Chain A
Amino acid sequence: MASPVVRIDGLKKSYADIVALDGISLEAAAGKIFGLLGPNGAGKTTTVKILATLTRPDAGSVEVVGYDIIKDPAKVRGSIGYVPQEITADPYLTAREHLEFYASLYHLPADLRKSRIEEALALVGLAGQEDRRARRLSGGTKKKLDLACGLLHRPAVILLDEPSLGLDVQVRRDVWNYILGLKEQGTVVFLCTNYMDEAERLCDEVAIIDRGKIVARGAPEELKGRLNRDVISVELADSNHHRDASFANLERAVSRLPVVRQSLRDGAKLKIYVEGHEAALANVLEAAAAAGVSLRSINYTRPGLDEVFLHYAGRAFSDEAPNGA
Protein backbone atom coordinates (compact mmCIF):
# COMPACT_ATOMS: atom_id res chain seq x y z
CA MET A 1 0.00 0.00 0.00
CA ALA A 2 1.16 3.54 -0.74
CA SER A 3 2.36 5.58 2.22
CA PRO A 4 -0.36 7.64 3.89
CA VAL A 5 -0.95 11.12 2.54
CA VAL A 6 -2.03 12.47 5.89
CA ARG A 7 -0.33 11.16 9.00
CA ILE A 8 -1.21 12.39 12.46
CA ASP A 9 0.60 11.05 15.47
CA GLY A 10 -0.10 11.80 19.13
CA LEU A 11 -1.68 15.17 18.40
CA LYS A 12 -2.55 17.34 21.39
CA LYS A 13 -4.05 20.79 21.60
CA SER A 14 -5.55 22.75 24.47
CA TYR A 15 -7.16 26.17 24.58
CA ALA A 16 -6.73 27.73 28.04
CA ASP A 17 -8.08 24.98 30.29
CA ILE A 18 -10.08 23.19 27.60
CA VAL A 19 -8.51 20.10 26.08
CA ALA A 20 -9.54 20.07 22.42
CA LEU A 21 -7.36 17.18 21.27
CA ASP A 22 -6.07 14.60 23.67
CA GLY A 23 -3.49 12.63 21.73
CA ILE A 24 -5.10 11.58 18.48
CA SER A 25 -3.37 9.49 15.83
CA LEU A 26 -4.69 8.64 12.40
CA GLU A 27 -3.71 8.14 8.80
CA ALA A 28 -5.50 8.86 5.56
CA ALA A 29 -4.38 6.96 2.48
CA ALA A 30 -4.32 7.97 -1.16
CA GLY A 31 -7.43 7.38 -3.24
CA LYS A 32 -9.75 7.42 -0.27
CA ILE A 33 -12.29 9.63 1.37
CA PHE A 34 -11.46 9.90 5.01
CA GLY A 35 -14.07 11.13 7.46
CA LEU A 36 -13.58 12.53 10.91
CA LEU A 37 -16.92 12.00 12.54
CA GLY A 38 -18.07 13.34 15.85
CA PRO A 39 -20.48 15.64 17.64
CA ASN A 40 -19.98 19.40 17.81
CA GLY A 41 -17.05 20.27 20.02
CA ALA A 42 -15.40 16.85 19.68
CA GLY A 43 -12.21 18.30 18.13
CA LYS A 44 -12.88 17.96 14.40
CA THR A 45 -12.36 21.57 13.45
CA THR A 46 -9.25 21.82 15.61
CA THR A 47 -7.80 18.82 13.79
CA VAL A 48 -8.52 20.19 10.35
CA LYS A 49 -7.16 23.64 11.30
CA ILE A 50 -3.92 22.03 12.40
CA LEU A 51 -3.76 20.13 9.09
CA ALA A 52 -4.36 23.42 7.26
CA THR A 53 -1.39 25.04 9.11
CA LEU A 54 -3.74 27.50 10.82
CA THR A 55 -3.25 26.26 14.36
CA ARG A 56 -0.08 24.99 15.97
CA PRO A 57 -0.37 21.78 17.95
CA ASP A 58 0.91 21.56 21.54
CA ALA A 59 2.37 18.12 20.94
CA GLY A 60 2.48 15.39 18.34
CA SER A 61 3.50 15.33 14.70
CA VAL A 62 1.50 15.94 11.56
CA GLU A 63 2.59 15.27 8.01
CA VAL A 64 0.75 16.09 4.82
CA VAL A 65 2.12 14.49 1.63
CA GLY A 66 5.35 13.90 3.52
CA TYR A 67 5.79 17.53 4.66
CA ASP A 68 5.82 18.41 8.32
CA ILE A 69 3.25 21.10 9.12
CA ILE A 70 5.62 22.90 11.49
CA LYS A 71 8.86 22.65 9.50
CA ASP A 72 7.42 23.05 6.03
CA PRO A 73 4.15 24.96 6.29
CA ALA A 74 4.58 26.59 2.86
CA LYS A 75 4.90 23.20 1.16
CA VAL A 76 1.90 21.88 3.07
CA ARG A 77 -0.11 24.92 1.96
CA GLY A 78 0.82 24.27 -1.64
CA SER A 79 -0.46 20.70 -1.35
CA ILE A 80 -3.83 21.32 0.26
CA GLY A 81 -7.12 22.92 -0.57
CA TYR A 82 -9.04 23.98 2.50
CA VAL A 83 -12.74 24.76 2.46
CA PRO A 84 -13.96 26.02 5.84
CA GLN A 85 -17.45 25.42 7.15
CA GLU A 86 -18.39 29.10 6.85
CA ILE A 87 -19.24 30.47 3.43
CA THR A 88 -16.34 32.73 2.49
CA ALA A 89 -17.42 33.92 -0.96
CA ASP A 90 -16.94 37.67 -1.33
CA PRO A 91 -20.34 39.26 -2.06
CA TYR A 92 -18.83 41.91 -4.35
CA LEU A 93 -16.98 39.53 -6.66
CA THR A 94 -18.42 37.39 -9.41
CA ALA A 95 -17.91 33.65 -9.39
CA ARG A 96 -15.33 33.95 -12.15
CA GLU A 97 -13.47 36.70 -10.31
CA HIS A 98 -13.19 34.43 -7.28
CA LEU A 99 -11.58 31.74 -9.37
CA GLU A 100 -9.25 34.25 -11.04
CA PHE A 101 -8.29 35.49 -7.58
CA TYR A 102 -7.32 32.03 -6.41
CA ALA A 103 -5.67 31.19 -9.73
CA SER A 104 -3.35 34.16 -9.12
CA LEU A 105 -2.71 33.30 -5.48
CA TYR A 106 -1.69 29.77 -6.48
CA HIS A 107 0.29 31.05 -9.50
CA LEU A 108 -1.40 28.86 -12.09
CA PRO A 109 0.45 29.15 -15.38
CA ALA A 110 -1.30 31.51 -17.79
CA ASP A 111 -1.96 28.83 -20.41
CA LEU A 112 -3.75 26.60 -17.89
CA ARG A 113 -5.77 29.27 -16.16
CA LYS A 114 -8.74 29.53 -18.48
CA SER A 115 -9.27 25.81 -18.86
CA ARG A 116 -8.93 25.15 -15.13
CA ILE A 117 -11.45 27.86 -14.32
CA GLU A 118 -13.96 26.50 -16.82
CA GLU A 119 -13.38 23.02 -15.49
CA ALA A 120 -13.92 24.10 -11.88
CA LEU A 121 -17.08 26.00 -12.81
CA ALA A 122 -18.44 22.96 -14.63
CA LEU A 123 -17.49 20.51 -11.90
CA VAL A 124 -19.54 22.23 -9.23
CA GLY A 125 -22.35 23.13 -11.65
CA LEU A 126 -21.76 26.88 -11.75
CA ALA A 127 -21.59 27.23 -15.52
CA GLY A 128 -24.00 29.96 -16.62
CA GLN A 129 -23.74 31.79 -13.30
CA GLU A 130 -20.06 32.69 -13.51
CA ASP A 131 -20.63 36.39 -14.07
CA ARG A 132 -23.08 36.93 -11.23
CA ARG A 133 -21.80 38.52 -8.07
CA ALA A 134 -21.75 36.21 -5.08
CA ARG A 135 -24.19 38.55 -3.34
CA ARG A 136 -26.86 37.37 -5.76
CA LEU A 137 -26.09 33.67 -5.53
CA SER A 138 -28.03 31.32 -3.26
CA GLY A 139 -26.35 29.94 -0.15
CA GLY A 140 -25.91 26.57 -1.81
CA THR A 141 -24.36 28.08 -4.92
CA LYS A 142 -21.96 30.12 -2.79
CA LYS A 143 -20.91 26.91 -1.08
CA LYS A 144 -20.26 25.34 -4.47
CA LEU A 145 -18.18 28.36 -5.40
CA ASP A 146 -16.13 27.92 -2.21
CA LEU A 147 -15.56 24.29 -3.14
CA ALA A 148 -14.56 25.25 -6.69
CA CYS A 149 -11.97 27.68 -5.31
CA GLY A 150 -10.50 24.91 -3.19
CA LEU A 151 -9.70 22.57 -6.04
CA LEU A 152 -8.54 24.98 -8.72
CA HIS A 153 -4.87 24.27 -8.06
CA ARG A 154 -5.49 20.49 -7.95
CA PRO A 155 -4.26 19.91 -4.40
CA ALA A 156 -3.17 16.45 -3.35
CA VAL A 157 -5.40 16.72 -0.29
CA ILE A 158 -8.63 18.60 0.06
CA LEU A 159 -9.75 19.46 3.59
CA LEU A 160 -13.48 19.95 3.96
CA ASP A 161 -14.90 21.15 7.25
CA GLU A 162 -18.61 20.26 7.44
CA PRO A 163 -19.10 20.48 3.67
CA SER A 164 -22.87 20.13 3.74
CA LEU A 165 -23.68 22.18 6.82
CA GLY A 166 -26.92 24.05 6.32
CA LEU A 167 -27.43 22.99 2.71
CA ASP A 168 -30.73 21.85 1.27
CA VAL A 169 -31.20 18.32 0.04
CA GLN A 170 -30.51 18.97 -3.64
CA VAL A 171 -27.33 20.98 -3.06
CA ARG A 172 -26.19 18.44 -0.53
CA ARG A 173 -26.48 15.72 -3.15
CA ASP A 174 -24.51 17.87 -5.62
CA VAL A 175 -21.79 18.43 -3.03
CA TRP A 176 -21.63 14.70 -2.35
CA ASN A 177 -21.29 13.94 -6.04
CA TYR A 178 -18.53 16.52 -6.26
CA ILE A 179 -16.69 14.86 -3.36
CA LEU A 180 -17.04 11.44 -4.96
CA GLY A 181 -15.75 12.96 -8.22
CA LEU A 182 -12.65 14.23 -6.43
CA LYS A 183 -11.90 10.74 -5.23
CA GLU A 184 -12.09 9.45 -8.78
CA GLN A 185 -9.50 12.03 -9.77
CA GLY A 186 -7.21 10.62 -7.10
CA THR A 187 -7.49 13.49 -4.64
CA VAL A 188 -7.43 12.55 -1.00
CA VAL A 189 -10.50 13.94 0.67
CA PHE A 190 -10.32 14.59 4.38
CA LEU A 191 -13.67 15.68 5.68
CA CYS A 192 -15.15 16.53 9.04
CA THR A 193 -18.79 15.94 9.61
CA ASN A 194 -21.34 15.47 12.29
CA TYR A 195 -23.78 13.92 9.85
CA MET A 196 -23.84 10.14 10.15
CA ASP A 197 -25.45 9.68 6.77
CA GLU A 198 -22.80 11.81 5.11
CA ALA A 199 -20.03 9.71 6.60
CA GLU A 200 -21.77 6.44 5.69
CA ARG A 201 -22.48 7.55 2.17
CA LEU A 202 -19.09 9.04 1.31
CA CYS A 203 -16.31 7.74 3.48
CA ASP A 204 -14.08 4.77 2.82
CA GLU A 205 -12.73 5.14 6.27
CA VAL A 206 -13.89 7.00 9.32
CA ALA A 207 -12.41 7.91 12.65
CA ILE A 208 -14.96 8.62 15.33
CA ILE A 209 -13.81 11.39 17.62
CA ASP A 210 -15.29 12.27 20.98
CA ARG A 211 -13.98 14.76 23.53
CA GLY A 212 -10.64 15.01 21.77
CA LYS A 213 -10.03 11.28 21.48
CA ILE A 214 -10.42 8.85 18.62
CA VAL A 215 -12.81 6.23 19.96
CA ALA A 216 -13.06 4.03 16.86
CA ARG A 217 -11.50 3.73 13.42
CA GLY A 218 -12.24 1.71 10.33
CA ALA A 219 -14.45 1.35 7.31
CA PRO A 220 -18.07 2.19 8.19
CA GLU A 221 -19.23 -1.35 7.34
CA GLU A 222 -16.48 -2.86 9.42
CA LEU A 223 -17.31 -0.68 12.42
CA LYS A 224 -20.96 -1.55 12.25
CA GLY A 225 -20.22 -5.24 11.77
CA ARG A 226 -17.91 -5.23 14.77
CA LEU A 227 -20.75 -4.11 16.99
CA ASN A 228 -22.67 -7.34 16.56
CA ARG A 229 -25.89 -5.75 17.63
CA ASP A 230 -29.05 -4.81 15.83
CA VAL A 231 -31.62 -2.17 16.59
CA ILE A 232 -35.30 -2.60 17.22
CA SER A 233 -37.19 0.68 17.08
CA VAL A 234 -40.55 0.64 18.75
CA GLU A 235 -43.18 3.34 18.50
CA LEU A 236 -45.96 3.44 21.08
CA ALA A 237 -49.62 3.53 20.04
CA ASP A 238 -51.67 6.62 20.93
CA SER A 239 -54.09 4.37 22.80
CA ASN A 240 -51.67 4.05 25.73
CA HIS A 241 -53.15 6.22 28.49
CA HIS A 242 -50.04 7.24 30.33
CA ARG A 243 -47.35 7.70 27.77
CA ASP A 244 -44.38 8.10 30.07
CA ALA A 245 -45.52 5.26 32.30
CA SER A 246 -45.94 3.04 29.25
CA PHE A 247 -42.43 3.89 28.09
CA ALA A 248 -41.10 3.04 31.53
CA ASN A 249 -43.04 -0.25 31.65
CA LEU A 250 -41.82 -1.25 28.23
CA GLU A 251 -38.21 -0.37 29.06
CA ARG A 252 -38.40 -2.39 32.26
CA ALA A 253 -39.94 -5.35 30.47
CA VAL A 254 -37.42 -5.49 27.63
CA SER A 255 -34.46 -4.96 29.95
CA ARG A 256 -35.19 -8.37 31.45
CA LEU A 257 -34.81 -10.09 28.09
CA PRO A 258 -31.45 -11.84 27.69
CA VAL A 259 -31.01 -10.64 24.08
CA VAL A 260 -31.37 -6.96 24.99
CA ARG A 261 -28.14 -5.05 25.62
CA GLN A 262 -29.45 -1.56 26.07
CA SER A 263 -32.46 0.63 25.40
CA LEU A 264 -32.72 4.32 24.79
CA ARG A 265 -35.62 6.68 24.37
CA ASP A 266 -35.35 8.64 21.15
CA GLY A 267 -38.26 11.07 20.83
CA ALA A 268 -41.47 9.11 20.31
CA LYS A 269 -39.53 5.88 19.88
CA LEU A 270 -37.74 3.44 22.06
CA LYS A 271 -34.55 2.09 20.55
CA ILE A 272 -33.72 -1.36 21.79
CA TYR A 273 -30.26 -2.70 21.06
CA VAL A 274 -30.19 -6.46 20.76
CA GLU A 275 -27.58 -9.04 20.05
CA GLY A 276 -28.08 -10.34 16.53
CA HIS A 277 -30.60 -13.08 17.25
CA GLU A 278 -33.56 -14.29 15.25
CA ALA A 279 -35.80 -14.54 18.31
CA ALA A 280 -35.19 -10.93 19.38
CA LEU A 281 -38.12 -9.38 17.56
CA ALA A 282 -40.57 -11.99 18.84
CA ASN A 283 -39.19 -11.59 22.37
CA VAL A 284 -39.72 -7.83 22.33
CA LEU A 285 -43.26 -8.20 21.00
CA GLU A 286 -44.10 -10.69 23.74
CA ALA A 287 -42.57 -8.47 26.42
CA ALA A 288 -44.62 -5.49 25.22
CA ALA A 289 -47.82 -7.55 25.27
CA ALA A 290 -47.07 -8.86 28.75
CA ALA A 291 -46.43 -5.30 30.01
CA GLY A 292 -49.78 -4.21 28.59
CA VAL A 293 -48.23 -1.68 26.20
CA SER A 294 -49.71 -1.44 22.74
CA LEU A 295 -47.42 -0.64 19.87
CA ARG A 296 -47.96 1.43 16.77
CA SER A 297 -44.96 0.20 14.83
CA ILE A 298 -41.90 -1.93 15.22
CA ASN A 299 -38.83 -1.90 13.07
CA TYR A 300 -35.77 -4.12 12.93
CA THR A 301 -32.61 -2.60 11.45
CA ARG A 302 -28.91 -3.17 11.14
CA PRO A 303 -26.92 -0.67 13.21
CA GLY A 304 -25.83 2.68 11.78
CA LEU A 305 -22.82 4.77 12.69
CA ASP A 306 -24.84 6.46 15.42
CA GLU A 307 -25.06 3.09 17.16
CA VAL A 308 -21.32 2.74 16.69
CA PHE A 309 -20.86 6.11 18.35
CA LEU A 310 -23.17 5.19 21.18
CA HIS A 311 -21.25 2.01 21.75
CA TYR A 312 -17.78 3.57 21.85
CA ALA A 313 -18.56 6.97 23.38
CA GLY A 314 -21.04 5.58 25.88
CA ARG A 315 -23.65 8.18 25.07
CA ALA A 316 -25.91 9.19 22.22
CA PHE A 317 -24.44 11.18 19.36
CA SER A 318 -26.95 13.98 19.68
CA ASP A 319 -25.84 14.78 23.25
CA GLU A 320 -23.47 17.64 22.66
CA ALA A 321 -19.98 17.52 24.05
CA PRO A 322 -19.47 19.94 26.94
CA ASN A 323 -17.11 22.35 25.19
CA GLY A 324 -17.13 23.95 21.79
CA ALA A 325 -13.57 23.40 20.60
Chain B
Amino acid sequence: MRRRTVRDFIEETRAQFTRWMLHLKREPFSLAFNLLNPLILLVFMGGAFQGLARNALGGDYRGYLLPGILALTAFGNSMAGGIPLLFDRENGSLTRLMTAPISRPSIILSRFLAVNLSTTLQCLLILVLGMAFGVRIATGVGGVAALLAFGLLLGFGVTAISLMLAFRFENHGDFFAVIGLTSLPLTFLSSAFVPLDHLPGWMRAVALANPMTYAIDAMRTLILSGWNPRPLAFMAAVLLAFDAVMLWLGSRVLARHLA
Protein backbone atom coordinates (compact mmCIF):
# COMPACT_ATOMS: atom_id res chain seq x y z
CA MET B 1 0.00 0.00 0.00
CA ARG B 2 1.26 3.48 -0.84
CA ARG B 3 2.58 5.86 1.80
CA ARG B 4 0.43 8.78 2.84
CA THR B 5 1.68 12.22 1.91
CA VAL B 6 0.79 15.83 2.67
CA ARG B 7 -0.74 15.94 -0.80
CA ASP B 8 -3.16 13.20 0.23
CA PHE B 9 -4.26 15.29 3.18
CA ILE B 10 -4.75 18.32 0.96
CA GLU B 11 -6.72 16.33 -1.60
CA GLU B 12 -9.00 14.89 1.11
CA THR B 13 -9.60 18.30 2.64
CA ARG B 14 -10.19 19.88 -0.75
CA ALA B 15 -12.73 17.22 -1.78
CA GLN B 16 -14.74 17.73 1.41
CA PHE B 17 -14.41 21.51 1.22
CA THR B 18 -15.76 21.36 -2.34
CA ARG B 19 -18.77 19.45 -1.05
CA TRP B 20 -19.52 22.18 1.51
CA MET B 21 -19.14 24.85 -1.15
CA LEU B 22 -21.66 23.03 -3.33
CA HIS B 23 -24.04 23.05 -0.36
CA LEU B 24 -23.56 26.79 0.06
CA LYS B 25 -24.15 27.41 -3.62
CA ARG B 26 -27.19 25.17 -3.89
CA GLU B 27 -28.88 26.04 -0.63
CA PRO B 28 -28.69 29.83 -0.48
CA PHE B 29 -31.73 29.84 1.79
CA SER B 30 -29.58 28.64 4.69
CA LEU B 31 -27.68 31.94 4.36
CA ALA B 32 -30.90 33.91 4.36
CA PHE B 33 -31.80 32.18 7.62
CA ASN B 34 -28.66 33.43 9.31
CA LEU B 35 -28.85 36.88 7.74
CA LEU B 36 -32.47 37.49 8.75
CA ASN B 37 -31.81 38.87 12.26
CA PRO B 38 -28.84 41.03 11.21
CA LEU B 39 -30.85 42.53 8.36
CA ILE B 40 -33.83 43.29 10.61
CA LEU B 41 -31.52 45.04 13.06
CA LEU B 42 -29.72 46.96 10.35
CA VAL B 43 -32.81 48.19 8.55
CA PHE B 44 -35.42 48.60 11.26
CA MET B 45 -33.55 49.09 14.49
CA GLY B 46 -31.03 51.31 12.78
CA GLY B 47 -33.90 53.37 11.36
CA ALA B 48 -36.04 53.48 14.48
CA PHE B 49 -33.30 54.58 16.90
CA GLN B 50 -31.45 56.90 14.56
CA GLY B 51 -32.96 60.11 15.95
CA LEU B 52 -33.00 59.01 19.59
CA ALA B 53 -29.41 57.84 19.53
CA ARG B 54 -28.13 60.95 17.77
CA ASN B 55 -28.82 62.93 20.94
CA ALA B 56 -27.54 60.27 23.36
CA LEU B 57 -24.42 59.12 21.48
CA GLY B 58 -23.78 62.14 19.38
CA GLY B 59 -23.27 60.29 16.12
CA ASP B 60 -24.69 58.05 13.43
CA TYR B 61 -26.48 55.17 15.18
CA ARG B 62 -26.19 52.81 12.20
CA GLY B 63 -22.43 53.24 12.33
CA TYR B 64 -22.60 52.51 16.03
CA LEU B 65 -24.86 49.48 15.47
CA LEU B 66 -23.01 47.94 12.52
CA PRO B 67 -20.25 46.23 14.58
CA GLY B 68 -22.88 44.48 16.72
CA ILE B 69 -24.67 43.31 13.60
CA LEU B 70 -21.41 42.06 12.10
CA ALA B 71 -20.61 40.19 15.29
CA LEU B 72 -24.11 38.67 15.35
CA THR B 73 -23.66 37.55 11.74
CA ALA B 74 -20.29 35.96 12.49
CA PHE B 75 -21.50 34.39 15.72
CA GLY B 76 -24.71 32.98 14.22
CA ASN B 77 -23.02 31.52 11.17
CA SER B 78 -20.20 29.99 13.20
CA MET B 79 -22.57 28.61 15.80
CA ALA B 80 -24.62 26.93 13.06
CA GLY B 81 -21.45 25.66 11.39
CA GLY B 82 -21.54 22.23 13.03
CA ILE B 83 -25.09 21.42 11.96
CA PRO B 84 -24.20 19.72 8.66
CA LEU B 85 -21.83 17.43 10.54
CA LEU B 86 -24.65 16.52 12.90
CA PHE B 87 -26.83 15.77 9.85
CA ASP B 88 -24.01 13.58 8.53
CA ARG B 89 -23.91 11.79 11.86
CA GLU B 90 -27.68 11.34 11.89
CA ASN B 91 -27.97 9.86 8.41
CA GLY B 92 -24.91 7.61 8.58
CA SER B 93 -22.78 9.39 6.02
CA LEU B 94 -20.17 10.42 8.59
CA THR B 95 -19.90 6.79 9.64
CA ARG B 96 -19.35 5.88 6.05
CA LEU B 97 -16.72 8.57 5.62
CA MET B 98 -14.91 7.14 8.64
CA THR B 99 -14.44 3.83 6.82
CA ALA B 100 -12.44 5.59 4.12
CA PRO B 101 -8.66 5.74 4.64
CA ILE B 102 -8.70 9.50 5.13
CA SER B 103 -7.14 11.75 7.71
CA ARG B 104 -9.65 12.47 10.50
CA PRO B 105 -8.61 16.11 10.87
CA SER B 106 -9.49 16.66 7.20
CA ILE B 107 -13.15 16.13 8.11
CA ILE B 108 -13.01 18.93 10.67
CA LEU B 109 -10.65 21.22 8.80
CA SER B 110 -12.76 21.20 5.63
CA ARG B 111 -15.86 22.15 7.57
CA PHE B 112 -13.96 24.77 9.57
CA LEU B 113 -12.66 26.45 6.43
CA ALA B 114 -16.05 26.37 4.74
CA VAL B 115 -17.82 27.92 7.75
CA ASN B 116 -15.32 30.73 8.04
CA LEU B 117 -15.32 31.50 4.34
CA SER B 118 -19.09 31.73 4.50
CA THR B 119 -18.82 33.99 7.59
CA THR B 120 -16.52 36.35 5.69
CA LEU B 121 -18.86 36.52 2.70
CA GLN B 122 -21.84 37.26 4.93
CA CYS B 123 -19.98 39.94 6.90
CA LEU B 124 -18.89 41.52 3.64
CA LEU B 125 -22.49 41.62 2.46
CA ILE B 126 -23.63 43.25 5.73
CA LEU B 127 -20.79 45.77 5.51
CA VAL B 128 -21.71 46.73 1.96
CA LEU B 129 -25.36 47.11 2.98
CA GLY B 130 -24.34 49.23 5.95
CA MET B 131 -22.31 51.45 3.67
CA ALA B 132 -25.29 51.70 1.33
CA PHE B 133 -27.26 53.01 4.33
CA GLY B 134 -24.65 55.71 4.71
CA VAL B 135 -22.25 54.24 7.26
CA ARG B 136 -18.73 55.66 6.81
CA ILE B 137 -15.75 53.50 7.71
CA ALA B 138 -13.10 55.66 9.29
CA THR B 139 -10.26 53.30 8.34
CA GLY B 140 -11.26 52.98 4.68
CA VAL B 141 -10.62 49.94 2.47
CA GLY B 142 -7.91 48.57 4.77
CA GLY B 143 -10.49 48.86 7.54
CA VAL B 144 -12.88 46.60 5.63
CA ALA B 145 -10.23 43.89 5.59
CA ALA B 146 -9.57 44.43 9.30
CA LEU B 147 -13.31 44.27 10.08
CA LEU B 148 -13.57 40.94 8.27
CA ALA B 149 -10.49 39.72 10.15
CA PHE B 150 -12.12 40.54 13.50
CA GLY B 151 -15.24 38.70 12.32
CA LEU B 152 -13.03 35.68 11.75
CA LEU B 153 -11.26 36.03 15.11
CA LEU B 154 -14.68 35.74 16.71
CA GLY B 155 -15.78 33.05 14.26
CA PHE B 156 -12.84 30.68 14.79
CA GLY B 157 -13.55 30.05 18.45
CA VAL B 158 -17.31 29.87 18.01
CA THR B 159 -16.93 27.44 15.09
CA ALA B 160 -14.81 25.24 17.34
CA ILE B 161 -17.62 25.27 19.94
CA SER B 162 -20.18 24.41 17.29
CA LEU B 163 -18.13 21.51 15.90
CA MET B 164 -17.86 20.10 19.42
CA LEU B 165 -21.60 20.46 19.90
CA ALA B 166 -22.17 18.58 16.64
CA PHE B 167 -20.75 15.52 18.38
CA ARG B 168 -22.52 16.15 21.67
CA PHE B 169 -26.11 16.49 20.48
CA GLU B 170 -28.04 13.50 19.27
CA ASN B 171 -30.55 15.40 17.14
CA HIS B 172 -30.48 18.63 15.22
CA GLY B 173 -33.64 20.03 16.86
CA ASP B 174 -31.70 20.55 20.10
CA PHE B 175 -28.90 22.16 18.16
CA PHE B 176 -31.21 24.67 16.47
CA ALA B 177 -32.70 25.50 19.86
CA VAL B 178 -29.25 26.28 21.27
CA ILE B 179 -28.44 28.57 18.36
CA GLY B 180 -31.74 30.38 18.76
CA LEU B 181 -31.17 30.72 22.50
CA THR B 182 -27.62 32.02 22.23
CA SER B 183 -27.20 34.24 19.17
CA LEU B 184 -29.56 37.12 19.82
CA PRO B 185 -29.43 37.07 23.67
CA LEU B 186 -25.65 37.09 23.63
CA THR B 187 -25.74 40.03 21.24
CA PHE B 188 -27.82 41.93 23.79
CA LEU B 189 -25.43 40.78 26.51
CA SER B 190 -22.56 42.55 24.79
CA SER B 191 -21.66 46.08 23.82
CA ALA B 192 -23.64 45.71 20.59
CA PHE B 193 -26.45 48.18 21.24
CA VAL B 194 -25.38 50.34 24.14
CA PRO B 195 -21.94 51.16 25.57
CA LEU B 196 -20.75 48.79 28.30
CA ASP B 197 -20.97 51.35 31.09
CA HIS B 198 -24.64 51.99 30.29
CA LEU B 199 -25.49 48.31 30.94
CA PRO B 200 -26.84 47.19 34.35
CA GLY B 201 -24.16 45.58 36.52
CA TRP B 202 -24.97 41.91 35.92
CA MET B 203 -25.34 42.44 32.17
CA ARG B 204 -22.00 44.22 32.11
CA ALA B 205 -20.40 41.25 33.88
CA VAL B 206 -21.75 38.84 31.26
CA ALA B 207 -20.79 41.21 28.47
CA LEU B 208 -17.21 41.35 29.72
CA ALA B 209 -17.00 37.55 29.52
CA ASN B 210 -18.63 37.52 26.08
CA PRO B 211 -16.14 37.34 23.21
CA MET B 212 -18.60 39.24 21.03
CA THR B 213 -17.92 42.35 23.12
CA TYR B 214 -14.25 42.36 22.11
CA ALA B 215 -14.97 41.83 18.44
CA ILE B 216 -17.58 44.60 18.58
CA ASP B 217 -15.32 47.07 20.38
CA ALA B 218 -12.53 46.48 17.87
CA MET B 219 -14.92 46.86 14.95
CA ARG B 220 -16.37 50.00 16.46
CA THR B 221 -12.90 51.49 16.73
CA LEU B 222 -12.28 50.68 13.08
CA ILE B 223 -15.59 52.16 11.90
CA LEU B 224 -15.95 55.20 14.16
CA SER B 225 -12.43 56.22 15.26
CA GLY B 226 -9.62 54.92 13.07
CA TRP B 227 -6.42 52.88 13.34
CA ASN B 228 -6.07 53.02 17.06
CA PRO B 229 -3.36 50.42 17.74
CA ARG B 230 -3.65 49.95 21.50
CA PRO B 231 -7.33 48.98 21.78
CA LEU B 232 -7.17 47.01 18.52
CA ALA B 233 -4.17 44.99 19.72
CA PHE B 234 -5.83 44.37 23.08
CA MET B 235 -9.10 43.18 21.52
CA ALA B 236 -7.22 40.97 19.04
CA ALA B 237 -5.22 39.45 21.90
CA VAL B 238 -8.37 38.63 23.90
CA LEU B 239 -10.00 37.04 20.85
CA LEU B 240 -6.87 35.07 19.98
CA ALA B 241 -6.80 33.71 23.52
CA PHE B 242 -10.47 32.72 23.21
CA ASP B 243 -9.73 31.01 19.87
CA ALA B 244 -6.70 29.20 21.24
CA VAL B 245 -8.66 27.77 24.19
CA MET B 246 -11.61 26.69 22.04
CA LEU B 247 -9.47 25.18 19.29
CA TRP B 248 -7.43 23.30 21.88
CA LEU B 249 -10.58 22.01 23.60
CA GLY B 250 -12.16 21.24 20.24
CA SER B 251 -9.21 19.26 18.97
CA ARG B 252 -9.28 17.14 22.14
CA VAL B 253 -13.01 16.47 22.03
CA LEU B 254 -13.05 15.81 18.29
CA ALA B 255 -10.00 13.56 18.39
CA ARG B 256 -11.88 11.39 20.85
CA HIS B 257 -15.03 11.26 18.73
CA LEU B 258 -13.23 10.67 15.45
CA ALA B 259 -10.80 8.03 16.73
Contact = CB atoms under 8 A, between A and B. Distances in A.
A88 B27 contact: no
A92 B27 contact: yes
A77 interface: yes
A90 B18 CA distance: 13
B100 A105 contact: yes
B6 interface: no
Which of B12, B18, B101 has the most C-beta atoms of chain A within 10 angstroms of its own C-beta? B101
Interface in B187-245: none
A301 B91 CA distance: 41
Interface in B1-42: 1-2, 4, 8, 11-12, 14-16, 18-19, 22-23, 26-27
Interface residues of B, number: 26
Nearest to A100: B15
B96 interface: yes
Given A107-B2, A107-B11, 11 more contacts: A75-B1, A78-B1, A78-B101, A85-B92, A86-B92, A88-B91, A92-B26, A97-B22, A104-B11, A104-B12, A105-B102
Interface of A: 52-54, 74-75, 77-78, 80, 82-88, 90, 92-93, 97, 100-102, 104-107, 133
A52 B1 CA distance: 18
Interface string B74-101: 0000000000000000011101111111
Contacts of A101: 15-16, 18-19
A76 B22 CA distance: 30
B22 A92 contact: yes
Given A75-B1, A78-B1, A104-B11, A53 B99 contact: yes
Contact of A54 (B11, B22, B95, B102): B95
Contact of A93 (B2, B19, B99, B101): B19
Contact of A90 (B8, B11, B93): B93
Contacts of A104: 11-12, 14-15
A92 B101 contact: no
A102 B18 CA distance: 12
A137 to B, nearest CB: 15
A77 B16 CA distance: 18
A90 B101 contact: no
A78 B12 CA distance: 14
A82 B93 CA distance: 11
Contacts of B23: 92
B99 A107 contact: no
A92 B22 CA distance: 7
Contacts of A133: 26
A125 B75 CA distance: 45
Contacts of A74: 4, 101
